[in-house]
Chain A
Amino acid sequence: MILKVFSSEKSGSGRYLVLPAFILSLLVVAVPELWSLVLSFSRYEPGRNIFFIGFKNYSYVFSDPNFWNSFKNTAIFVVTSVVLQIVLALAFTVVLAKGFKAQKLWVTCVLLPYALSPVVTVNIWKYMIDYNVGIISYFFKEMGLLKSPWLSNPVTAMLAVILVYTWYSVPFSFVILYPARISIPTELYEAASIDGASHWKQFTKITMPLLTPTLIVVATFRLMISLRSFGEIWLLTKGGPFRSTETLAIYLYKQGFSYWNWGRAAAIGWIILLVTMLFSLPQIRTMYTQMFGSKKGV
């Protein structure tokens, strides 16, 4: 009798419980997305009618040097900050994995930036790198390294943006790397120590190989997320100076909300989406098999 109840699982009515989630995403995300696809093939400015113009938006975008500039900036920004994030998160993980008194306190410290809004983060950092009164600028000036305000120089502006975003994002990577690291049995490390392996050897031969799958997942994930970051950069530099920190997301925003050309902005949006998809597909596949691969004892 019990078996009968649960054999109806396959076609049970419980599966309709996924519907609210599905409908919510559908309406709020998918439908506007499709509409934006239509938009990307049209010319649409507020107050005027829409009309279909084929691929003109796309060809404009691809021939716009500003697009390629923002593409380049995005690449620099994303790759550099993701590498930094992961290196730092990995370093923190290794340091904290040693175990300290009040361990929880230190872990909490590392996680703190997670609680902040991009606005607050930018506030803090803007104050710290302010040319006149900022504490970071103070140190650099004392060392004779800083000649002009961080945000006025294209190179240092990009550095600043990368730095702020990295600071903000390290907790995300840490949250995934740290549990993975502490799930490695300590016996492995103990055995290696007994065999006379140095810390560095232990790191390269034990930690790194075992963490590599996780690292790949984290890297993919963070690449995806960094690609779409808007608030942090916008609030810091608005894409300046001279568009040197203008990423694709900001480029899109400007096309859509400064120039009010929504057809073009929609086209850019779809380009960003396609690029994102390139990174994400392997991840989607992995997560899908994880969700439905093995039911019991995952």
Chain B
Amino acid sequence: MLLVVVWSIFPIYYIVISAFKMPRNIFAYPPKIFPSEFTTVNFLELFKNWSSFPTALANSLIVTLAAVLLTVAVSLLAGFAYSRFSGKLVKNSAIFLLVIRMFPPIIISIPLYPVLNSMNKTVDPRAVLVLLYSAFEVAIMTWIFKTAFDRIPRELEEAALVDGCTQFQSFVRILIPLVAPTAVAVSILVGIYSWNEYIFAFLFTSSGSQTTPVLIAEMMGGLTGPSWGQVFAASVLQMIPMIFFLLIIQRFIVSGLMGGSLKG
């Protein structure tokens, strides 16, 4: 049990601690697990030397928020439709979405790159990222929403209709509140993915529009000894929001999401 925890936690603990180590302690040998001195100098240096860091954070935020909104909106609607309706359009598009999910993202980059490069002046790369992230996440999230809608008995909608609601009203007033928890979970999952994503962000952004992971990777690239503290500081800053959100939905992940659809 102890091994389980150590395995999972230690690397994270280590980088957080190291971010607060004095630079010379980062290179101490033997390495210190429990440093005796703490400092915030790495964080200060980070902001001093990499003035684009806040911009990168902002970019990550924008892209993440937009991707979450788009994905949730699109997959909520689609999930609802798959749950309640049938027909050829429904079935064929379902196969399509499932297949899309299997595509390795990297092979998309080849055809897209020349197109996007030439459009770089006119199209904001961040919008491109939003579209890409949403397109890939929609397949899974639609399925999650469908499962969620399946669990809501249709009698609720029927009752609403009897009471005089239009179908649209029953949708908005009843169904949406009921899937709100699912929507939250979906948002966080998509959010984590978008915030942390590297490949597409790496390929398709340029200096002003980089997201945080790309910037941190750049920081690693030109590594001479002294910068490591700043890299740790940056990593910790990038990491903290996601850990926070993960904590919020961990219960949901374990109990609801996968268990229902993969009966062992």
Contact = CB atoms under 8 A, between A and B. Distances in A.
Interface of A: 2, 5-6, 9-12, 14-22, 24-30, 32-33, 35-36, 39, 46, 88, 91-92, 95-96, 100, 104, 106-128, 132-135, 138, 167, 170, 175-176, 178-181, 183-184, 210-211, 213-214, 217, 224, 227-228, 230-231, 235, 249, 252-253, 256-257, 262, 265-266, 268-270, 272-273, 276-277, 280, 284, 287-288, 290-292, 295, 298
Contacts of B264: 180-181, 183-184, 210-211, 213-214
B110 A124 contact: no
Contacts of B134: 24, 28
A257 B8 CA distance: 35
A127 B228 contact: yes
B80 A117 contact: no
A93 to B, nearest CB: 10
Interface string B14-58: 110010000000111111010000000000000000000000000
B69 interface: no
Contact of A262 (B90, B110, B254): B110
A128 B99 contact: no
B172 interface: no
A133 B31 contact: yes
Contacts of B4: 91-92, 95-96, 106, 109-110
Contacts of B214: 119
A117 B195 contact: yes
Chain B interface main SS type: helix
Contacts of A18: 77-78, 81-82, 89-90, 93-94
Interface residues of B, number: 111
Query: Lowest 9 CB-CB distances: which A-B pairs, in order?
Result: A269-B107, A228-B104, A179-B259, A117-B196, A21-B78, A28-B135, A180-B264, A17-B81, A115-B242
Interface string B152-181: 001000100110000100000000000000
25 contacts: A10-B87, A14-B85, A17-B78, A24-B131, A28-B132, A32-B108, A33-B103, A33-B111, A107-B250, A110-B8, A114-B192, A115-B196, A116-B196, A119-B220, A123-B220, A124-B235, A181-B264, A184-B264, A213-B264, A214-B262, A224-B102, A231-B198, A249-B104, A257-B203, A272-B104
Contacts of A46: 114
Contacts of A17: 77-78, 80-81
Interface string B226-241: 0010011001001100
Nearest to A12: B85
A218 to B, nearest CB: 9
Given A109-B4, A167-B7, A228-B105, A21 B97 contact: yes
Contacts of B136: 29
Contact of A228 (B106, B112, B139, B197): B106
A92 B147 CA distance: 27
Task: Specify which of A107, A112, A170 lies most central, judged by the most chain B CB atoms within 10 Å of its CB.
Answer: A112
Chain A interface main SS type: helix
A15 B27 contact: no
Given A29-B108, A135-B33, A262 B114 contact: yes
B220 A235 contact: yes
B125 interface: no
Given A33-B103, A252-B106, A112 B98 contact: no
Task: Specify which of A29, A35, A230 lies most central, judged by the most chain B CB atoms within 10 Å of its CB.
Answer: A29
B213 to A, nearest CB: 4
A113 B15 CA distance: 13
A126 B221 CA distance: 12
Contacts of A24: 70, 74, 131, 134-135, 138
Contacts of A33: 103, 107-108, 111
A253 B29 CA distance: 37
B47 to A, nearest CB: 18
